[in-house]
Structure 1
Amino acid sequence: MQQNQSWAILGLQKTSLLRAFLGQHRVVPALPSGIWPFLSNLEPPKAPDSGIAFVSFAYQQRRTIPTGGAFYDYSARYGAVREEDKVTLRESIPICHPRTGAALDTNLLETLAKSLAIDHLLDLPLVVLSNGQTRRAAIMRQLLLEPEVLILDEPLTGLDIKQRPSLLEFLHGLHRRKDPWILLGLRRQDPLPDWVTHVAYAQDNNVISGHRTSDSVRPFFRADRSSTKRVPDALAPERPTKHFSPPGAAVTGNPLIQIRGLNIQYENRKILSELDWTIREGERWHLTGPNGSGKTTLLSVLTGDHPQSYTQKNLVLFGKPRRQLALSQIHSRIGICSPEIFNAFPRRSGPEGLTVRDAIGTGFESIFSFRPRTPEQERRIDEVLQKFKGALSNDFDADVHFGSLSHGEQSFVLFLRAIINEPPLLILDEVFSGMPGEMITVTKEFLRTGLKHEQSVVFVSHWDEELPWPTEVRRLVLGDNNCDHR
């Protein structure tokens, strides 16, 4: 890689290759001048640990939660009553460089926050930030360290249609000025920015690399020359909340979820206002909207996790008012995949660790710890693993620890956990995050043809092309606390 080039890494082993660039994997044979020889030529010279910054949106155990790989209560964020939950984004940022001890530039903080469209979030508690906002904040944290190289693994995951081109344009500007030099790790389905000149594809312990126009790498990426252009306002997501039904769509089965006049707010900050929504048996819903529009909050109401769900007068879940249902009763009727569950799921090793079979089996009761299983449940796990064996490697072992799997394999196993009990309602929030193409293909096919007729799905994604169903999809678009029906 040369400094006048722009690189993106793709493939099942892209994260392993990126970590090799960080010195976390041994490179054989050893390079006499190291992986980043230019760092030693700087004045003053920099060591790789201070010159290279890395942000990965694959699983990372949260530094502020000393769980040692155990489950942590991700739903605590909705209450935001503990002292640690009151920490704002600004307060969470260290005042000194963690390695050099040098004071961080507060003016740079304001500049970066504005460029990443999170300046209005600096004085809000971290726990109320959306997934997309949290990801942009993670990039800002690393840029504050003023590295020479910034490596970003899957930076587009979870960003809405307006923020994707804005982020790529911002990164392009940084790379053009070499302030810092940017190296991207992308999913195969991500559009390749037009400013990326070179591609490396890492898979099967092999790396194929070359200029983006080279025949050797062109099959491995999706070109999209519009990916770095700003989205015109007319194409941006609509601001009010809107419901869309496919042409000719008729009322289907019995209602599973009935929401009328939903209001969620933290002190004076409204998250959802006067929202109405009914989910019926057999329906397919696409829930979308800008980062910070309240999607995760709305899902926490559906699952009963949000404390304010108890105070809603017109919230009926599975035929009963929310107040009359224990949380376990709600969770047993919902299969869910989400970034929160992915990050919170226990990954201990040793005797206390969950195997892949155990992890899938927790879906029968929607819990996060081992429970003895009945013979019927064991047969069901075998049936699901057999059905999806085409997406798994030939040497895949369901008795290994869940935490030993790759990011993509963990995402896929948690999807199997969500469907194992054939729940009435499936909630799939960024379900394909980290999955390789083969797993995505198999998962989409199952969602098209493998569900029971009466099962309903809420599919959350900023990417229309990720939808498994070409037609017959209802859509709920969240916006600025208004409700409008179409």
Structure 2
Amino acid sequence: MARASYPHLADISQSPHHAIKYVGFDAERGSTVGGTSVRGAYLSARYESRREETDFTVHDYLTGHTELNALERDDSQLDKRALDVITEQLNLRSLLSMPVANLSNGQTRRARIAKALMVQPEVLLLDGPFMGLDPNTLKTLSRVLMGLAERQQPRLIMSLRPEDGVPDWVSHLVVIDEKLRIIAQGAKHDLLKADGAHASTLRSILGAADYSQQASSRAQVSRDGFAKQSLPLPPGEALVEMRGVKVSYGDKTVLGDWQQPLNGEMQSSLWWSLHRGQRCGIFGPNGSGKTTMLSLITSDHPQTYSLPIQLFGRSRLPGPGEPGISLFDIQRRMGHSSPEVHAFFPKQLTISRALESAWADAPLARPTLTPEAKRKVKACLRWFARELNPGQKQPTALETLQAASLDHTTVEKSANALTDIYKELTANDADLAWATSMIVRDLSFSNQRLVLFLRAIVASPDLIILDEALSGIDETIRDKALLFLSQGEKVSRVKDGVAEESKLAQLNMTVMDGLSHEQALLVISHSKEDVPGCVREWICLPEPGEGMAPRVGKLPGPLELNPQGWDNIWGR
């Protein structure tokens, strides 16, 4: 096995342990600024005015005065000048007295980077620093990182996804493929001029925006099967209604501090609804109230009981002649996937048991499974068998079926033969033995996200909520997941802008359909690549403290083929 060497660190007599600092941005690290998930704290505490004992301030966190970091250095060892410089560089000075639990996503990233800089490392490793940031916050953070890179104090190394693009100030690149093989490395301007097998891939990554524009002009349908111009479904009954919602903690309002027009009149606070058949996106800057709004919909927020909110036609508290809706009723009718769900989901479950928990009152409770529910779980596992069980050497049952061809001169006879072959391959579910033994904890980060995405949709709930559900997932898996969300088992893939019907559809053997007219979809994402192509309605919350009303609008089709829609959402 090759060993890493550090010639420069040897010259200056520093160990890699102290000279290199790593800051990663994923579900395991995202629930606290410190990067250690405080699982014992009350999950809804972030929505309340009271303080938990773990709610130390940003100043405490940066200077090591936290109960969770008892071995940190004391005041006598602290370089106060370094604190002043770093908080100025990262625009944190005004936040020093704020509890870390109240920081927005972008503020949290800056605080974590500042924490790493406090020990004055020679090298700072940032893993996915732009993941999950709104476009404006991303620009701000990019400027901060550019300043660090220009000073080379410390030297900066980042990991980036293709959809992140490459900032102009990045000078050198190492490009790897999906199998973690290096396909190119060197100065960025040299790679732009390179020829060879990977030239087009490199140019698509380095010029992601231009490449995306060119691809959209060529494609006939989006990667999840929607035409450039595709009308929304007619809305059905309301599943969520907010009629003048305002969330405040004391004198601080975090959602609904505005007047908005409604039916020709100005109304106070947030008025918004979501109906069957609608596919809606909630957007807005970090800290604008998206998480608060979502927590009201899922009923995690304590103020859901007292605010004018109806979920599936009922309030949380009973009214005259009307029973309230219970948390279990809500959970049964919603499928929810998010980084928070990922962080707290019991990862000791097997893959199949994790999907089955969509029919349980809680992940560890016993699910109530009908024959139809069992068929749906198996359909999901077979569709994603290659992704969830990458160690499988033989072709999966679906891969074998897809590779077979129908003899169109004797279609009926050929179809019967293929059906028999597939039934033989899946007899007694022997092809799914891996799913009953593989543990969620042992999966890659991307595959854990995939399992929770499938858990959110497998039971075909009335409302599916995808809150950054595909953030950090591998690009090819993300695209396949979005296609499955919209088309189910009917479409095997989209190639060169053309949707290809699956063999299961040709043989009338599909079990999982895409989103139905009876379902609603709610999406929160800061990356347009993670937004499903079926999303047509959107609401963009304003910058916190502005008092401006949220903007709302409609998309003519998928963002992939209508990239100007992303600029419209963000008011650019």
Aligned to 2:27: 59
| Aligned position for 2:526 | 462
Q: 1:443/1:171 Cα in 2 relative to 1: closer, same or farther (>3 Å)?
A: same
Counterpart contact for 2:239–2:273, Cα < 8 Å: yes
- Cα pair 1:95 1:103 within 8 Å, conserved: no
Give the Å deviation of 1:375.
5.5
**TM-score w.r.t. length of structure 1:** 0.79
Which whole-Å CA distance do the structure 1 matches of 2:382 and 2:208 have between them? 40
Distance in 2 separating the partners of 1:114 and 1:359: 45
What is the CA–CA distance in structure 2 between the aligned matches of 1:172 and 1:461, rounded to whole Å? 25
Structure 1 residues 370-385: aligned runs within 5 Å: 370-372=365-367, 374=369, 376=371, 377-385=373-381
Secondary structure of 1:83's partner? coil
Change (3 A) 1:484 1:411: closer
- Name the CA distance, whole Å, in 2 between partners of 1:333 and 1:118: 41
Q: Which residue, 103, 108, 125 being the options, matches 2:99?
A: 125
The corresponding residue for 1:191 is: 165
Q: Are 1:298 and 2:281 an aligned pair? A: no
* TM-score, structure 2 normalization: 0.68
Q: 2:28·2:36 contact (CA, 8 Å) conserved in 1?
A: no
- Structure 1 distance, partners of 2:327, 2:113, is 35
* 1:465-480 equivalences in 2 (<5 Å): 465-469=529-533, 473-479=536-542, 480=544
Which has the bigger relative contact order, CA under 8 A and spacing at least 6?
1
Give the aligned residue type for 1:159: L
1:239 is aligned to none
Residue 285 of structure 1: how far off its partner (Å): 0.8
Cα separation, partners in 2 of 1:88 and 1:381, compared to 1, 3 Å: same
What is the alpha-carbon distance in structure 2 between the residues aligned to residue 73 and residue 222 of structure 1? 42
**Could you list the per-position Cα deviations for residues 8-36 of structure 1 after superposition, in whole angstroms to 9, with x for gaps in the alignment?**
xxxxxxxxxxxxxxxxxxxx1335xx3x2
Q: State the alpha-carbon separation in 2 of the partners of residues 179 and 286 from structure 1.
A: 40
> Cα 1:118–1:416, aligned 2, differ >3 Å: closer, same or farther?
farther
Give, in angstroms, the shift of residue 149 of structure 1. Answer: 0.5
Q: Which residue of 1 aligns with 2:478?
A: 440
- Aligned residue number for residue 251 of structure 2: 268
Gap regions ≥5 residues in structure 2: 211-228, 257-268, 318-323, 393-433, 488-513, 553-572
| 1:180-235 deviation per Cα after TM superposition (whole angstroms, max 9, x unaligned) | 111111123221122322223154353333134144655156224999xxxxxxxx
Aligned partner of 1:166 in structure 2 is 140
> What is the alpha-carbon distance in structure 1 between the residues aligned to residue 532 and residue 301 of structure 2?
28
> Which residue identity is paired with 2:353?
D
- Tell me, yes or no, if the aligned pair for 1:113 and 1:119 is still in contact at 8 Å: yes
Distance 1:369 1:380, change over 3 A: same
CA contact (8 A) 1:150 1:183 kept: yes
Q: Verify the 8 A CA contact 1:194 1:225 in the aligned structure 2.
A: no
- Which structure 1 segments of 5+ residues have no match? 1-27, 228-245, 348-352
Instruction: For residue 343 of structure 2, give the secondary structure of its aligned residue in structure 1.
Output: helix
Q: Could you tell me which of 181, 186, 199 is aligned with 1:206?
A: 181
Secondary structure (helix, strand or coil) at the match of 1:162 reads helix
Q: CA RMSD in A?
A: 2.9
- Aligned partners of 1:170, 1:260: CA distance in 2, in Å? 40
Q: Which moved more, 1:106-115 or 1:49-58?
A: 106-115
Separation in 1, partners of 2:36, 2:519: 38
> Is the radius of gyration larger for structure 1 or structure 2?
2
Is 1:483 aligned with 2:549?
A: yes
SS at match of 1:189: helix
Once residues 401 and 188 of structure 1 are traced to their aligned partners in structure 2, the CA distance between those partners, rounded to angstroms, is 29
User: Which residue of structure 1 aligns with residue 385 of structure 2?
Assistant: 389
- Residue 320 of structure 1 is aligned with which of 304, 307, 314? 314
Letter matched to residue 357 of structure 1: S
* Worse overlay, 161-170 or 388-397: 388-397
| Structure with the higher fraction of residues in helix conformation | 2
Q: Is the 8 A contact 1:95 1:104 kept in 2?
A: no
SS of structure 2 residue aligned to 1:173? helix
Structure 1 residues 50 and 304: alpha-carbon distance in aligned structure 2, compared to 1, 3 A threshold: same
**Do the aligned partners of residues 202 and 484 (structure 1) sit closer, same or farther apart at CA in structure 2, a change above 3 Å counting?**
closer
Among 233, 236, 251, the residue aligned to 1:253: 236
| Aligned equivalent of 2:43 | 74
> Displacement of 1:434 after TM fit?
1.7
Indicate the SS of the match to 1:81: coil
- The amino acid that maps onto 1:438 is T
Q: Which amino acid aligns with 1:252?
A: P
Say yes or no: does 1:30 pair with 2:3. yes
User: Using the alignment, how far apart are the partners of 1:293 and 1:114 within structure 2?
Assistant: 23
2:303 to 304, 308, 322: 308
Instruction: Name 1:13's counterpart in structure 2.
Output: none
**How far apart are residue 465 of structure 1 and its match?**
3.7
Residues 451 and 162 of structure 1, relative CA distance in 2, 3 Å threshold: same
CA distance 1:79–1:359, change in 2 (3 Å): farther
Contact 1:411/1:431 (8 A) holds in 2: yes
> 2:274 corresponds to which residue?
279
1:411 aligned partner: 449
Shift of 1:250: 8.1
Q: From the superposition, tell whether residues 143 and 287 of structure 1 become closer, same or farther in structure 2 (CA, over 3 Å).
A: same
Q: Do the aligned partners of residues 430 and 369 (structure 1) sit closer, same or farther apart at CA in structure 2, a change above 3 Å counting? A: same
- Matching of residue 364 in structure 1 with residue 359 in structure 2: yes
Deviations 1:139-183 (A, max 9, x none): 221122211101011100121111212212221221222101111
